[in-house]
Amino acid sequence: MVGIREIAKRANVSISTASYAINGSSKVKTETRDRILAIANELNYIPNMAGRTLKKQKTNLIGVYLTNYGGAFYGELVSGIHDFLHQHHYDVIICSSERAHTFIPEKMVDGAIILDSTFSTEKIESYAARGHQMVVLDRELSHQNVCSVLLDNRGGAKKALLALEKKVTKKIYLVTGPPGTYDSNERLAAAKKCLEERKLSYEVILGDFSKESGRQAAREILQKSEKEVGIFCLNDEMAIGMYSVFQKSNWKIGKDIHIVGFDNIEVTHYLRPRLTTIDYSKSDWGKAAAEKIYFMLNGKQPSNQLVDVKLKGGKSVGSI
Amino acid sequence: MVGIREIAKRANVSISTASYAINGSSKVKTETRDRILAIANELNYIPNMAGRTLKKQKTNLIGVYLTNYGGAFYGELVSGIHDFLHQHHYDVIICSSERAHTFIPEKMVDGAIILDSTFSTEKIESYAARGHQMVVLDRELSHQNVCSVLLDNRGGAKKALLALEKKVTKKIYLVTGPPGTYDSNERLAAAKKCLEERKLSYEVILGDFSKESGRQAAREILQKSEKEVGIFCLNDEMAIGMYSVFQKSNWKIGKDIHIVGFDNIEVTHYLRPRLTTIDYSKSDWGKAAAEKIYFMLNGKQPSNQLVDVKLKGGKSVGSI
């Protein structure tokens, strides 16, 4: 294959000039650049990641795998990941598709951060067995090549219920995320345990973390329940959906119905009454994940981490 | 270099079994997989994108370049891009760093979609000259390898001012984005032209598209202006920042002060009074960009496109 050396020679320029021209640097005059590019094209020169990867066995890329691109807190999370890694000379690529999983065994990325329910634990284990290093944000997994940075979902659920219990004596509804998702399962298990210990009446309504499922749950509660009940929505999106239904009913949020969410996403700051929810720093979560993968790639064995959460009080839980 | 054929031979399995094992497929028993992986490791087998790229000269990857990861409408835009391309057997990677720009000349991506103010036009032109194909969402650029899909910023600015003019006779403030950004420049130019044609008094306040710059502009207006003026914020984020300042003053939004934003981001739906803003479909914008790059990669020469925008009326512009 033709190398940059030959292009430089034919163009009668230095190797660095040829390299600048090919990489589109403004350090080379347009005229010179065009001449170099014409020679490169003529010789069918292919600069590529491939060559670099084979030589260095490293791409300095970290793959961040998300279930989809729509999550309200992804921006802050990914910014937290990016900022840390960029400072440490790694670049981040964000992926969301099954085919992109193969970037890991193909060594297109040096490591991965995973918050992707479509990424099977079996596959992660198999990559780990091959020596690939990963940080998981959405499951527990014990392997020397995998480190987890998880939200304190159980602690958050307890705090949410503690807030509700003070105001609600009748019944508490738990509205879940999609079945099988780690965050939803953890929050639900902790909430049920809490309520059973305190012998409080509760009912589980199946949701899917979307606003629409929140609206459906609200309509169901309006239909079958009396006033003065509490709702723990396992994420904020569903709580936002609920607001739109209750605000059209004669049930007053914070009086007839008490709602707690989870995530403290930006939109909830503009709800009236303001939503009581479970808060955590999305960018700190991202930063912690970035630190772990960075340490792992540099031969260290960091320990798993739990990300602190706290109650963010709002008027959606009021006094009866 | 060791190939998959040799691994299969040593493990006494078929090539496809060896391949499944290495790619982490669940089709292979754990026991068999571990044995194959051990052999692959022993032989120092490196499956990589590199080999595939060199063979096929195609990665079926499209790079999406964003200025940062924080933009409120990125989720919908990227989902629109992803959904179309995924259906057409392309994968998307989202990048936001200068070093990632070189994925294009390195042919790690087959094409690129760019909404990234840190990506210089000169560099894009140089990549285009090398035969790389790109779709730009944030600049005008005439090259056979570049196609643009732009918001109708000028049309949007006119609609925003038309809404304000009906209610405001005194003065209109124009609060800009960061200097040099295409969307801000276009909106500002169209707004100024509109106001000059109608001989309306106006003043430009420099912002940077952040909430904080909106708050600063609001404080400046409160200090130096009389009531009954209008504000055209060149994006919604700044309008949201303004709300927090005016709502603490004795100026009533929609009565003493009239505000129009741009983007119709989700948070504005929860502002009271609801913000009048310029709306467009972020996912349609993404889909249009995806279609263009897909057509270009398949030998077609699609034409540039302007994305329609429309006024979304709210109570932030009221009657005096």
Compute the C-alpha angle B192/B196/B197, nearest 5°: 120
- Asked if A58-151+282-308 and A153-279 have one fold, the answer is yes
Return the H-helix or E-strand segment holding A208.
none
Do A48 and B106 make contact, defined as CB atoms within 8 angstroms? yes
With beta carbons less than 8 A apart as the criterion, state whether B286 and B62 touch.
no
Which residue, among A7, A34, A48, would best test binding to B if mutated, counting the most B CBs under 10 Å from its CB?
Answer: A48
With beta carbons less than 8 A apart as the criterion, state whether B48 and A53 touch.
yes
Strand-pair partners of A276: A260
With beta carbons less than 8 A apart as the criterion, state whether B231 and B221 touch.
yes
Distance to chain B for A284, nearest Cα, Å: 15
Options 1.10.238.10, 3.40.50.620, 3.40.50.2300, 3.40.50.720; CATH for B57-151+282-307 is 3.40.50.2300
Residue A254 region by backbone torsions, left for phi larger than 0, else alpha for psi between -120 and 50, else beta: left
Tell me which residue of B65, B64, B68 sits closest to B210, measured CA to CA.
Answer: B68
Residues of A in contact with B76 (CB under 8 A): 70
Return the H-helix or E-strand segment holding A199.
none
Strand-pair partners of B306: B150
Side by side, the strands of the sheet bearing B257-260 are B202-205, B172-175, B229-233, B257-260
The pLDDT of residue A56 is: 55
Q: Is the pLDDT of residue B61 over 70?
A: yes
Please name the residues in contact with B261: beta carbons below 8 A apart, sequence gap of 6 or more: B233, B235, B236, B238, B239, B240, B268, B275, B276, B277, B278
The CATH number given to A58-151+282-308 is 3.40.50.2300
Q: Which residue among A53, A74, A131 sits closest to B75, beta carbon to beta carbon? A: A74
The pLDDT of residue B50 is: 47
Do A68 and B46 make contact, defined as CB atoms within 8 angstroms? no
Tell me how far apart the alpha carbons of residues B188 and B128 are, in angstroms, rounded to a whole number: 29
- State the DSSP code for A144: T
A226: phi then psi, degrees, rounded to nearest 5: -85, 170
pLDDT digits 0-9 by tens, A241-267: 999 999 999 999 999 999 999 999 999
ipTM of the complex model:
0.83
Counting as low any pLDDT under 50, the low residues of chain A are: 50-51, 54-55, 320
Q: Does domain B4-47 have CATH number 1.10.260.40?
A: yes
Burial A116-154 (b: 16+ CB within 10 A, else e): bbebeeebbbbbbbbebbbbbbbbebeeebbbbbbbbbb
- State the DSSP code for A279: E
Q: Looking at chain B, which residue has its C-alpha nearest residue A97? A: B91
Residue A107: both structure tokens together? 């060594």
With beta carbons less than 8 A apart as the criterion, state whether A260 and A160 touch.
yes
A30: phi then psi, degrees, rounded to nearest 5: -50, -45
Tell me how far apart the alpha carbons of residues B65 and B80 are, in angstroms, rounded to a whole number: 14
Q: Which residue among B47, B86, B270 sits closest to A106, beta carbon to beta carbon? A: B47
Do A37 and B130 make contact, defined as CB atoms within 8 angstroms? yes
Tell me which residue of A301, A281, A282 sits closest to A292, measured CA to CA.
Answer: A301
pLDDT digits 0-9 by tens, B107-131: 889 999 999 999 999 999 999 998 9
Residues of A in contact with B74 (CB under 8 A): 69, 75
Tell me which residue of A149, A80, A150, A155 sits closest to A309, measured CA to CA.
Answer: A155
- Output the DSSP codes for A84-134: HHHHTT-EEEEE-SSGGGGGTTTTSSSEEEEE-TTS-HHHHHHHHHTT-EE
Which residue, among B22, B30, B108, would best test binding to A if mutated, counting the most A CBs under 10 Å from its CB?
Answer: B108
- Output the DSSP codes for B245-285: HHTTSSPPBTTTEEEE-SS--GGGGGSSSPPBEEE--HHHH
The pLDDT of residue A35 is: 86
User: Average pLDDT of B174-195?
Assistant: 96
Q: Which residue among B34, B86, B123 sits closest to A129, beta carbon to beta carbon? A: B34
Tell me how far apart the alpha carbons of residues A306 and A150 are, in angstroms, rounded to a whole number: 5
Please name the residues in contact with B176: beta carbons below 8 A apart, sequence gap of 6 or more: B184, B188, B204, B205, B206, B207, B234
The pLDDT of residue A106 is: 86
Return the H-helix or E-strand segment holding A252.
none
With beta carbons less than 8 A apart as the criterion, state whether A156 and A234 touch.
no
With beta carbons less than 8 A apart as the criterion, state whether A220 and A191 touch.
no
Distance to chain B for A169, nearest Cα, Å: 31
Tell me how far apart the alpha carbons of residues A70 and B158 are, in angstroms, rounded to a whole number: 31
Do A107 and B82 make contact, defined as CB atoms within 8 angstroms? no
The pLDDT of residue A1 is: 58
Tell me which residue of B80, B74, B124 sits closest to B95, measured CA to CA.
Answer: B74
Residues of B in contact with A4 (CB under 8 A): none
Residues of A in contact with B122 (CB under 8 A): 24, 26
pLDDT band at B56 (very low <50, low <70, confident <90, very high): low
Please state which architecture CATH assigns to domain A153-279. Answer: 3-Layer(aba) Sandwich (3.40)
Question: Biggest alpha carbon distance in chain B?
Answer: 85
Dihedral sign from CA coordinates of B119, B121, B127, B128: positive
CA distances from A16 to A23, A25, A42, A310 (A): 10, 11, 19, 54
Distance to chain A for B155, nearest Cα, Å: 28
Q: How far apart are the first and last CA of chain A?
A: 78
User: Which residue has better confidence, A227 or B159?
Assistant: B159
SS3 string, B98-164, reads HHHHHHCCCCCCCEEEEECCCCCHHHHHHHHHCCCEEEECCCCCCECCEEEEEECHHHHHHHHHHHH
pLDDT digits 0-9 by tens, B214-251: 999 999 999 998 888 999 999 999 999 999 999 999 99
Domain residue extents for chain A = 4-47, 58-151+282-308, 153-279
Strand-pair partners of A95: A65
Residues of B in contact with A71 (CB under 8 A): 75
Task: Establish, for the pair of chains A and B, how many residue pairs have beta carbons separated by less than 8 Å.
Answer: 164
The pLDDT of residue A54 is: 46
CA distances from B155 to B74, B135, B179, B193 (A): 22, 22, 20, 12
CA distances from B94 to A42, A69, A89, B52, B76 (A): 32, 10, 17, 21, 13
Share of chain B above pLDDT 90, in %: 73
Do B107 and A46 make contact, defined as CB atoms within 8 angstroms? yes
Distance to chain A for B29, nearest Cα, Å: 11
Share of chain B above pLDDT 70, in %: 95
Distance to chain A for B158, nearest Cα, Å: 29
pLDDT band at B182 (very low <50, low <70, confident <90, very high): very high
* Residue that has been written with the tokens 């960061």 in this structure: B178
Tell me how far apart the alpha carbons of residues B69 and B71 are, in angstroms, rounded to a whole number: 6
